[in-house]
Structure 1
Amino acid sequence: MVNESTVTESIPAPGPNGASGFDFIREAVDLDLKNGRYAYVRTRLPPEPNGWMHIGHAKAFSIDYFVAKDFGGTCNLRFDDTNPEKEDMSYVEAIKRDTFWLGIDCRDRVLFASDYYEKLYELAVLLIKKGVAYVDDLSDQEIREYRGTDVPDKNNITSTPPGRNSPWRERGVEENLDLFARMRSGEFADGARTLRAKIDMAHPNLVMRDPVMYRIRREKHYRTGDAWCIYPMYDFQHPLSDAIEGVTHSLCSLEYEIHRPLYEWFIREAEVFPSRQIEFARLNISHTVLSKRWLLRLVQDGLVSGWDDPRMPTIAGMRRRGYTPEAIHDFLGRIGIAKTDSLVDIQLLEHCLREDLNRRASRVLAVLRPLRLIIENWPAGQVEDLEAVNNPEDAQAGTRKVPFSGELWIERDDFAEVPPPKYFRLFPGNSVRLRYGFIVTCTGFDKDPGSGEITAVRCTYDPLTKGGNAPDNRKVKGTIHWVSAAHAIPLEARLFDKLFVAERPMDVPVGVDWVQTVNPASLETVSRAFAEPSLATAAHGDSFQFERLGYFCCDSDSRPGNLVFNRSVSLRDTWAKIEKKQS
């Protein structure tokens, strides 16, 4: 039994984000505690600092963190930083910021695999002394060929003939120790030699065919500098770093299932703490990609503005778009933890955000595509403050005053010279309610003689209908929003659509580059929009519902007098309709 004094018993686990019931991971953890395999629970979040955190990582991090929390255990945030070519401290800080923002608070347990380099080297020496590791002179290409396949993806474990032993596989222990020490001292060129585990070159799992443990790379490490010229491979350092930290349950996505025998082999042969690996299905969402490598290409090719582009599935991008930690955790709780991969409709994610913002976002009036509305019988120069509800879902939110005058901005789509069937907004002779204001009747419109574009709509108002109620109980079917032209503040609105046209962007025909499925219309910038004056005090990150238009978040590009708002999600809830139809 593995013991730790801080936790000594199994406790009921509510599941992620308070969901009731055990999933298969919690069942396994609970059984391990009950049968004495472990007496405490410790998990770890093991990001590689080579990119920014995305929502797929959020799922994995949430599972790790809340499993440990539910059983009274601890969770480490360990950066698996053993690939110096691609890693950087800026990625470390970005991942920490996004992890803590999500409420996954491991700030007192931030660790680095690079701190274990000396210990990992000692464990490699131990394996050499035991005769289960050797220094090999084969090149990378030769290793692939000897393994039995030259397919670069080592996860390809389709039926292959037995591999061939390296000519240097039977080197003696002393020679291997000498060569490995000289590898560390920098005597050999990059790629000249590797340290490999001696397992089984005929194993049906290619991962087990004498995997590489160390390679020579003269790359400056962002933390250790030039102190090392040999670096451990992930499959070697990962289980042993878990063991060094006393991690009880190493929770990872399903693609590591075929690596589990190797994970267990290294732990057993190194005679270290017996961490246990458990796999779960990774997150796949329609119309996006969840891979740092693929997301990096979008950034490098200029297809997005950066890692925090609001169209990106990165946590920074989602935060900038207006997503909240609560909405993300609600989504993760709804999809649950499974053992098989599946594709989640992005509309479910949007539904979770819409529900959260509906409860918390203040309502404001804004017009994206303005058309002037002139109230011909409004008293000249008069301004009236109308009372508007801040959030009908929250009585505590109260009300605000919105100025109303004789010239307003309305949405261009809210007027039609010749209305289509069932059009209940403004057209000649028709009446509508102005939100929080009066009932107006269209009397005409102005048109540019050159272009034919409507430049203004004219109407009269009924002063007895303040608040939108008619004393004579006349039926008015349409209600439109507006802002006072004299009081409106200008803003830029950025409207987002799906980043990829294809539901599965990576499923493209042979010879077709997947980036060709990027949606060219995923961003529309509306530069001449207007909003009620209360929005002038909006700060970066503030979210609002622009009535009838959607939920918007104040962007970091905003400056005094030059506000920028990102549309987080529209008001239309397609997912709710799907759920209702399914039920």
Structure 2
Amino acid sequence: LEIFYEYAVDLIKKEEAYVCDCDPELWRNEYKVLSKPCPCRDLSVHENLARWEKMLDGTYPEKGAAVRIKTGMDDPDPAMRDHVILRISEAEHPRVGNRYRVWPMLEYSWGIDDHELGISHIIRGKDLVKEGKIEQHIWRIYGWAEPELIYYGRLKFKDATLSKSRARRKILSGEYTGWKDPRTWSLQSLEHRGIHPDALRKATLDLGLSLNDITFSMKAVYSENRKIRDSDAPRAFFVESPVWISVSDLPNGMDVAEAPIHPDYPDRGTREIPLPRENEHLDIGIPTRDFKRIANGELFRLKDLANCRMNKETNPSARFESFDVEEILDKEGQIIHWVPKGNSIPVELTMVDGSIVEGVGEPSIADLDVGTFLQFERVGFAKIYEKNDVINLAFAHK
């Protein structure tokens, strides 16, 4: 703060600033609105320096005086007329307590900081154009090199709510689990879900800088993330709230199903899904929505296993028909994912809205490490963040 104080004194000595003790409302209505200088503006340097000391030593109460910079009372923009650059505040500061009582305004501190730190480019929202003009006024008083000011329009997220203060309140209240909660939309939460930093960076850079307001969808980030992470993401089956059906007539000796670890990279091999049978029947779980769509007697395919015919007349069941993929494709039959009941893994999937989807996963996911980014086929991408009796994942996107 001492640096800001030194510049304040220097600006007063240069007669570029003055201490105003007018009532703020009176100043606004009688001087600012009417473009008239107040009596304080023409006081001597000596009187202004004396007033400055009174601001520091407590003679002036809070709101009793402020330092104004002479941006001009005839400026066409009323907001620019002799703007306040330092004011008195007796609120306790979280770091320095009550050590200081005179504090710089944002645009004044920026103007000094940007020079002292050697900033060359300033990128900020167009709602801060006024602040930029006040900075420029300070720079020109001293003849400093001026950083390039670049403004951009408001960025509105149509499918995300970004509010740090709101998220913090909900974390403190216990409604959110912490900054990794997907509803905070914090960088921590995006990392927790497996969003690669380069995906966010690329989607943002593609927007460019424009003064026009932009409505942005997180789908752009998800698209970039898919490009970056898809090739490394192993595949697996996950079934939410499964409907359990019994499959009969599977050929003898068929103990495992083999599914590709990644369909685009056959050289990576396959994952084995054991097929534990009881009384020659294989109990499997299939998605409820698929069970409802498949009619009684309809031919469908269990992905990477076999073609079966549905039986809904008694207990839900299915009968093995064939292995031929072309048969189901020719008939435009449904191909669905599934999980064997005997060795299924309990899974909890945290969705973007914070809800928990419970289900079961295939046995192979038990061998994946915490931090693995995978794709649940026909469900979406997710990242494993905890493994105990239940495997916990955070949903990333489709």
Q: Is this a same-fold pair by TM over 0.5?
A: yes
Structural mapping, 1:396-475, within 5 Å: 397-405=268-276, 406-416=282-292, 426-444=294-312, 446=314, 457-462=316-321, 465=323, 469=325, 475=331
3-state SS of paired residue (1:407) = strand
Tell me which of 130, 155, 173 is aligned to 2:14.
130
Deviation at 1:354, TM superposition (A): 3.7
3-state SS of paired residue (1:335) = coil
Deviation at 1:361, TM superposition (A): 2.2
Partner of 2:373: 543
2:328 and 2:372 map into 1 onto residues whose CA distance is 41
Partner of 2:259: 388
Q: Does the C-alpha gap of structure 1 residues 544 and 179 become closer, same or farther in structure 2, counting only changes over 3 Å? A: same
**1:480 equivalent in alignment to 2:351:** no
Structural mapping, 1:46-445, within 5 Å: 117-146=1-30, 148=32, 161-290=33-162, 292=164, 306-378=178-250, 384-394=255-265, 397-405=268-276, 406-416=282-292, 426-444=294-312
**How many residues align structurally?**
393
Contact 2:344–2:362 (CA under 8 A) maintained in structure 1: yes
Q: Does the C-alpha gap of structure 1 residues 127 and 414 become closer, same or farther in structure 2, counting only changes over 3 Å? A: same
Q: Percent of aligned pairs with the same residue?
A: 25
Partner of 2:356: 525
Computing the radius of gyration from Cα coordinates, the structure with the larger value is: 2
Contact 1:207–1:259 (CA under 8 A) maintained in structure 2: no
Q: Deviations over 1:315-360 (max 9, x none)?
A: 2232233322122122113222223223234443443334444333
3-state SS of paired residue (1:236) = helix
Deviation at 1:203, TM superposition (A): 1.3
Flag the structure with higher strand content: 2
3-state SS of paired residue (1:338) = coil
Contact 1:128–1:134 (CA under 8 A) maintained in structure 2: yes
Contact 1:284–1:290 (CA under 8 A) maintained in structure 2: no
Partner of 2:279: none
Contact 1:430–1:442 (CA under 8 A) maintained in structure 2: yes
3-state SS of paired residue (1:343) = strand
Contact 1:162–1:203 (CA under 8 A) maintained in structure 2: no
Tell me which of 492, 495, 501 is aligned to 2:348.
492
Query: TM-score with structure 2 length normalisation?
Result: 0.86
Q: Does the C-alpha gap of structure 1 residues 277 and 486 become closer, same or farther in structure 2, counting only changes over 3 Å? A: same
Deviation at 1:383, TM superposition (A): 7.4
1:473 and 1:255 map into 2 onto residues whose CA distance is 57
1:545 and 1:383 map into 2 onto residues whose CA distance is 26
2:343 and 2:210 map into 1 onto residues whose CA distance is 53
Q: Does the C-alpha gap of structure 1 residues 196 and 299 become closer, same or farther in structure 2, counting only changes over 3 Å? A: farther
Structural mapping, 1:25-44, within 5 Å: none
Q: Does the C-alpha gap of structure 1 residues 285 and 223 become closer, same or farther in structure 2, counting only changes over 3 Å? A: same
- Superposed CA RMSD: 3.2
Contact 1:147–1:206 (CA under 8 A) maintained in structure 2: no
Contact 2:151–2:210 (CA under 8 A) maintained in structure 1: no
2:362 and 2:58 map into 1 onto residues whose CA distance is 67
2:328 and 2:215 map into 1 onto residues whose CA distance is 54
3-state SS of paired residue (1:255) = helix
Q: Does the C-alpha gap of structure 1 residues 210 and 415 become closer, same or farther in structure 2, counting only changes over 3 Å? A: same
3-state SS of paired residue (2:115) = helix
**1:553 equivalent in alignment to 2:380:** no
1:319 and 1:173 map into 2 onto residues whose CA distance is 56
